[in-house]
Amino acid sequence: MNPSVDALRRVFGPRIGRALVSCGDTIVYVDAGRVAEALRWLKETPGQQYNYLVDVTAVEYRDPERPLEVVYELFSLDRRAALRVKAELSKDRLEIDSLVPLWAGANWLEREVYDMFGITFRGHPDLRRILMWETYAEGHPLRKDFPLRGRFSRAEQVRQALGANPEAHYSMDELSIAETYHELPEDMRERLARGERGVIPEPGRERGRE
Amino acid sequence: MSKRTVEFELATPGLDAQGRPARIPLGVAAGSAVAAASAEPELGGDHLLLNIGPQHPATHGVLRLVVELDGEVVVRCIPHVGYLHSGFEKLGEYRHYNQIIPLTDRTDYLSPMSNNVGLALAVEKLLGLEITERCKVLRVIACEMSRIISHLVWMGTTGIDIGAFTPFLWMFYERERIYNLQEAWTGARLTTSLTRVGGMMADVPDGFVEALRTFCKNFPKTLAEVDRVLTRNGIWCARTQGIGALTAEEAINYSLSGPMLRASGVPYDVRKDRPYLDYETYDFEVPVGEHGDVYDRYLVRFEELVQATRILEQALDRLPDGPLNVDDPKVILPPKSAAMTDMEAMIFHFKQVMEGVQAPVGEAYFPIENGKGELGYYFVSDGTAKPVRWRIRPPSFINLAALPKMAEGGLIADLIAINASVDIVMGEVDR
């Protein structure tokens, strides 16, 4: 077991949950509300120096009772030590503090987790979908309740793809650069004004479901 | 508020007295000041919205950059990715571990063999398997061959982006030699699917070792020519030196890896710092830059080509005989001949194909040093044959995230050079 776990326990006490070793990797669970603080401590404390954020991702288990986990893979370039920090989030409250103030590299990684799992990162400067398009309305693909072929029927997916305006792929922010918003067609303006990401429908209520 | 659309009269106004086409004066001609002013509205201070890609040769795939320009200066650069998103991680949750290997071919399709190796190593870590010596050395050979073709594509295409066409031809000529070897070994040029959990899909064919030795002997000559053409070339230096520079702190802060990180002076190489496949027993150097600009990234990758050739030679020298796959019928398929004649082998064959390799409950993260950077595979298993979660730690996705930081404040022409220097492959960025 990585000695950083005991050091974390001394500083954060009961905020540090269980710790285990799996396949030689040390995993430590941290209270979701304190995870940014704990990671800052791990990054900046001499003797810990986990200065390299390898990866941010999330895991949803097949057991629907288990909470979602946000996974932070840390590495210390100076000490050559690795540590995996996890935070559990209950499915009715998928929110956690953003790490962008600590590591700029967390920006896109957290956007991807938001896109794929629907976890909101508080304090993230630019939390938009990244791999899926901004008006994608079928939900978050890596969630276990998301079917492999998507929520909508194939016919509905084709209909939406054919109906999409290929010129409409600018965000309001980008259009403000050229101040061309008022020159756009009426329906495109209406769509942009409704919100960049469109409206994510409630499960079971979306159109075109078979 | 001035309107951005500028309409010019582009038709030639006719012929002059000498019969030559009359030209539209570039400056304001005397006496026509009013006309010129109405043709060219005041643009000073206005920013231009420029869209680059997703179908543009300089974006190396389907990357789309929305750029705000003030004259030629990039004020803001907003990358849009995801045009090639295939949901590999989701697909992996529905597949046996061995069935995931073909998916890894298609992520970083410029170095498929090292992706296969990384995936097999990650699953073996999850299973606690120890692979054979011959398998280890063959996997090192696969990784270094992949590194060479990955860097060759990078160097060729970056040369084209910056305006040097000849190195591209030389690079692709050498890459073709590796591809021929790869094809002889795996039967495929792109979708190699070389490894299996616990071993390899196939041993190297007859004549492979000699052919690879010949490549290792001839390849440095091509490299020397490229060195002569590029390294001290005035245009190349002017287009790359001091462009897109990142300090060591910035590079670490952006979680960069691979040549991007090392060019900024951080000597982090997974092969040295978290050794796998006995890389610690090979004699090779890790090149480190000092300025972190496009030129240093070129130098680092160039030197990595030389070092990869060295590793290949050492691996060929030590390639041991002996079994290729682990001796465990629960992991490795029995030979087809045995499956047809031996009852036990047939049962194992059936169970392997129908049920797949069963991993214990647990999770494992395994990083390897890919041509692009630290490629990691993270598996979470709940004890069944299909992973609960398969995560690819994509080096080019994370490296690309630093593009706005490097490009903003520079010229639009430098944006192309900087984007090239990141060495992205969109199959991996979008997954």
Chain A nearest-CA residue for B48: A178
Which residues of chain B make contact with A116, given a CB cutoff of 8 A? 89
B241 φ/ψ sector (left φ>0, alpha ψ -120 to 50, else beta): beta
* B59 and B103 fall within a common domain: no
Residue B394 reports pLDDT greater than 70: yes
* B75 and B93 fall within a common domain: no
| Segment among B4-13, B177-186, B204-213, B237-246 with least mean pLDDT | B4-13
Whether ipTM > 0.85 holds is no
Residue B32 lies in a domain: no
* B242 and B382 fall within a common domain: yes
Chain B nearest-CA residue for A73: B365
Which residues of chain B make contact with A148, given a CB cutoff of 8 A? 90-91, 94
Rounded to a whole number of angstroms, the distance from the CA of B421 to the nearest CA of chain A is 18
* B313 and B359 fall within a common domain: yes
Relative orientation angle of helices B294-318 and B133-162, to the nearest 10 degrees: 150
- Among B32, B64, B80, the domain boundary falls at B80
Q: Is B378 on the interface with A (CB under 8 A)?
A: yes
- Dihedral of CA atoms B137, B138, B141, B145 in degrees, nearest 10, equals -160
Tens digit of each residue's pLDDT (9 = 90 or more) over B174-226: 999 999 999 999 998 889 999 999 899 989 999 999 999 999 999 999 999 99
Q: Is B66 on the interface with A (CB under 8 A)?
A: yes
Number of domains in chain B: 2
Q: Is A61 on the interface with B (CB under 8 A)?
A: yes
- Counting as low any pLDDT under 70, the low residues of chain A are 165-169, 172-173, 175-185, 187-210
Residue B108 lies in a domain: yes
- For the record, the structure tokens of A145 come out as 């309740």
The residue-averaged pLDDT of B142-156 equals 93
- Among B34, B58, B80, the domain boundary falls at B80
* B225 and B320 fall within a common domain: yes
Rounded to a whole number of angstroms, the distance from the CA of B430 to the nearest CA of chain A is 6
- Give the model's pLDDT for residue B327: 87
Closest to A2 measured CA to CA, from A18, A22, A17, A21: A21
Residue B279 lies in a domain: yes
Q: Which residues contact A121 (CB under 8 A, 6 or more apart)?
A: A95, A96, A97, A98, A99, A100, A110, A113, A114, A127
Q: Is A149 on the interface with B (CB under 8 A)?
A: no
CATH class of A4-122: alpha beta
Q: Name the DSSP letter for residue A202.
A: P
Query: Are residues B174 and B204 in contact, defined by beta-carbon separation less than 8 angstroms?
Result: no
* B137 and B283 fall within a common domain: yes
- Give the model's pLDDT for residue A192: 62
Q: What are phi and psi of B243, to 5 degrees?
A: -95, 130
Residues 174-233 of B with CB under 8 A from A: none
Q: B19 falls in which pLDDT band (50, 70, 90)?
A: low
The residue-averaged pLDDT of B239-249 equals 89
Chain A nearest-CA residue for B63: A131
For residue A54, give the nearest of B66, B393, B430 by CB distance: B393
Which residues of chain B make contact with A106, given a CB cutoff of 8 A? 255
- Give the model's pLDDT for residue B15: 61
* B110 and B72 fall within a common domain: no
The residue assigned the tokens 């031996």 is B342
- Give the model's pLDDT for residue B336: 83
Tens digit of each residue's pLDDT (9 = 90 or more) over A57-85: 999 999 888 999 999 999 999 889 999 99
| Segment among A148-152, B10-14, B367-371, B393-397 with least mean pLDDT | B10-14
Residue B24 lies in a domain: no
Would the CA dihedral through A76, A77, A79, A81 be positive or negative? positive
Q: What are phi and psi of A203, to 5 degrees?
A: -60, 135
Q: What is the extent of the structural domain holding B66?
A: 42-80
* B171 and B244 fall within a common domain: yes
* B236 and B379 fall within a common domain: yes
* CATH number of the CATH domain containing B114: 1.10.645.10
- Give the model's pLDDT for residue A38: 92
* B244 and B278 fall within a common domain: yes
* B389 and B359 fall within a common domain: yes
Cross-chain Cβ contact B274/A132 below 8 Å: no
Tens digit of each residue's pLDDT (9 = 90 or more) over B44-80: 567 788 888 788 888 888 888 888 888 888 888 889 8
Which residues of chain A make contact with B4, given a CB cutoff of 8 A? 178-180
* B69 and B94 fall within a common domain: no
Residue B7 burial (CB < 10 Å; 0-12/13-18/19+)? exposed
User: What does the DSSP assignment read for B401-426?
Assistant: TTHHHHHTTSBHHHHHHHHHHH---H
Residue A143 burial (CB < 10 Å; 0-12/13-18/19+)? middle
Cross-chain Cβ contact B253/A103 below 8 Å: yes
- Give the model's pLDDT for residue A96: 92
Q: Is A178 on the interface with B (CB under 8 A)?
A: yes
Rounded to a whole number of angstroms, the distance from the CA of B259 to the nearest CA of chain A is 15
CB atoms within 10 A of CB B83: 17
**Mean pLDDT for all residues in chain B:** 86
Q: Name the DSSP letter for residue A143.
A: S
More confident residue, A208 or B363: B363
Tens digit of each residue's pLDDT (9 = 90 or more) over B77-99: 889 898 899 999 999 999 999 99
Domain boundaries, chain A: 4-122, 132-205
Starting from the edge strand earliest in sequence, which strands make up the sheet with B389-393, in order?
Answer: B361-369, B374-382, B389-393
